[in-house]
Amino acid sequence: MPRRRKQNRRKKRRSLLLIGLSFFVLTLLFALLIGIQTVLALVHDLPKLDEEDLRSLGQTSKIYAADGSLLAEVFGTENRTIVTLDAVPDYLQKATIAIEDERFYEHNGVDYEAIGRAVFANITSGTIAEGGSTITQQLVKNVYITDERSFSRKLVEAVLASRLEQTVSKDVILERYLNTIYYGENAYGVEAAAQTFFGKSVSQLDLSECATLAGLPNAPSLYSPKRNLAAATERRNVVLQKMADLGFITQAEAHGAASLPLTINENVQPVVEPYFVEYVKQKLVEKYGSGTLFEGGLRVYTTINPGLQAAGLDAINRVLYEEGDPAAALVSIEPETGYIRAMVSSQDFKQSQFNLAAQAQRQPGSTFKPFVLAAAVEEGVDPDKTYYMSKEVDLPMPGGGEPWHVQTYDFHYYGVSSLTEAMLRSDNTVYAQLVMDLGPDKVRDTAERMGIQSYVAANPSIALGGLGQGVSPLEMSSAYATLANSGKYMEPIAITRVEMPDGEVEYEAKPESKQAISEGAAYEVTKVLEADMQRGTSSKAAIGRPAAGKTGSTENLQDAWFIGYTPDYSTAVWIGYPDEQIPMTNVHGGSVWGGGFPATIWKYFMLDATEDLPERDFRKPNQPVQFKRFVGTYVLFSGGEKPTTRDDAYGEEGRTTTGEDGE
Contacts (Cβ under 8 Å, ≥6 apart) of 123:
none
Identify the three-state secondary structure at position 548. strand
Task: Judge whether residue 452 has pLDDT over 80.
Answer: yes
Q: Determine, yes or no, domain membership for 230.
A: yes
Residues 470, 347, single domain; the answer is: yes
Domain boundary among 220, 235, 258: 258
Q: Determine, yes or no, domain membership for 500.
A: yes
pLDDT band at 411 (very low <50, low <70, confident <90, very high): confident
Task: Judge whether residue 125 has pLDDT over 50.
Answer: no
pLDDT band at 655 (very low <50, low <70, confident <90, very high): very low
Task: Judge whether residue 107 has pLDDT over 90.
Answer: no
Residue 656, pLDDT score? 27
Residues 141, 242, single domain; the answer is: yes
Residues 591, 467, single domain; the answer is: yes
| Top-confidence residue, 421 or 295 | 421
pLDDT band at 44 (very low <50, low <70, confident <90, very high): low
Residues 651, 567, single domain; the answer is: yes
Q: For residue 183, what is the enclosing H or E element?
A: strand 182-184
pLDDT tens digits, 328-346: 999 999 999 999 999 999 9
Residues 522, 606, single domain; the answer is: yes
Which of 24-38, 105-119, 358-372, 459-473 comes out lowest in average pLDDT?
24-38
Mean pLDDT, residues 351-367: 90
Residue 403, pLDDT score? 87
Cα-based distances in Å from 376 to 85, 287, 485, 503, 536: 66, 38, 19, 50, 20
In percent, how much of the chain has pLDDT > 90? 62
Task: Judge whether residue 647 has pLDDT over 60.
Answer: no
Task: Judge whether residue 560 has pLDDT over 50.
Answer: yes
Residues 241, 345, single domain; the answer is: no
The total number of structural domains that make up the chain? 2
Q: Could you tell me how far CA 84 lies from the centroid of its own chain?
A: 27
Which of 1-5, 183-187, 221-225, 617-621 comes out lowest in average pLDDT?
1-5
Residues 245, 343, single domain; the answer is: no
Domain boundary among 240, 258, 276: 258
Residue 12, pLDDT score? 60
Beta-carbon count within 10 A of 439 CB = 15
Residues 450, 337, single domain; the answer is: yes
Residues 353, 238, single domain; the answer is: no
The whole-angstrom separation of Cα 415 and Cα 387 is: 10
pLDDT tens digits, 565-583: 999 999 999 999 998 889 9
The whole-angstrom separation of Cα 355 and Cα 210 is: 42
Q: What is the domain-level CATH number for residue 110?
A: 1.10.3810.10
Residues 252, 345, single domain; the answer is: no
Q: For residue 601, what is the enclosing H or E element?
A: helix 597-609
The whole-angstrom separation of Cα 134 and Cα 137 is: 5
Task: Judge whether residue 460 has pLDDT over 60.
Answer: yes
Q: What is the domain-level CATH number for residue 428?
A: 3.40.710.10
Contact criterion met (CB below 8 Å) for 215 and 232: yes
Domain boundary among 239, 258, 277: 258
Which of 146-150, 376-380, 445-449 comes out lowest in average pLDDT?
146-150
Cα-based distances in Å from 518 to 467, 514, 524, 531, 625: 29, 10, 10, 20, 8
Task: Judge whether residue 489 has pLDDT over 50.
Answer: yes
Q: Closest Cα partner for 358 from 642, 572, 548, 589?
A: 572
Q: Determine, yes or no, domain membership for 11.
A: no
Q: Determine, yes or no, domain membership for 138.
A: yes
Q: Could you tell me how far CA 289 lies from the centroid of its own chain?
A: 14
460 secondary structure, DSSP code: G
Residue 646, pLDDT score? 47
Residues 91, 201, single domain; the answer is: yes
Q: Determine, yes or no, domain membership for 139.
A: yes
pLDDT tens digits, 506-533: 999 999 999 999 999 999 999 999 999 9
pLDDT band at 449 (very low <50, low <70, confident <90, very high): very high
Residue 2, pLDDT score? 56
Q: Determine, yes or no, domain membership for 274.
A: no
In percent, how much of the chain has pLDDT > 70? 82
Residue 6, pLDDT score? 55
The whole-angstrom separation of Cα 427 and Cα 471 is: 21
Strand spans (E) along 458-512: 488-490, 495-499, 505-508
Residue 391, pLDDT score? 93
* Beta strands across the sheet bearing 495-499: 70-74, 61-64, 299-302, 495-499, 505-508
Q: Determine, yes or no, domain membership for 303.
A: no
Question: What is the domain range of residue 554?
Answer: 332-658
| Top-confidence residue, 377 or 353 | 377
Q: Determine, yes or no, domain membership for 454.
A: yes
Q: Closest Cα partner for 637 from 653, 621, 620, 613?
A: 653
Task: Judge whether residue 257 has pLDDT over 80.
Answer: yes
Residues 635, 506, single domain; the answer is: yes
Average pLDDT over the chain, rounded to whole?
Answer: 85
Q: For residue 210, what is the enclosing H or E element?
A: helix 207-214
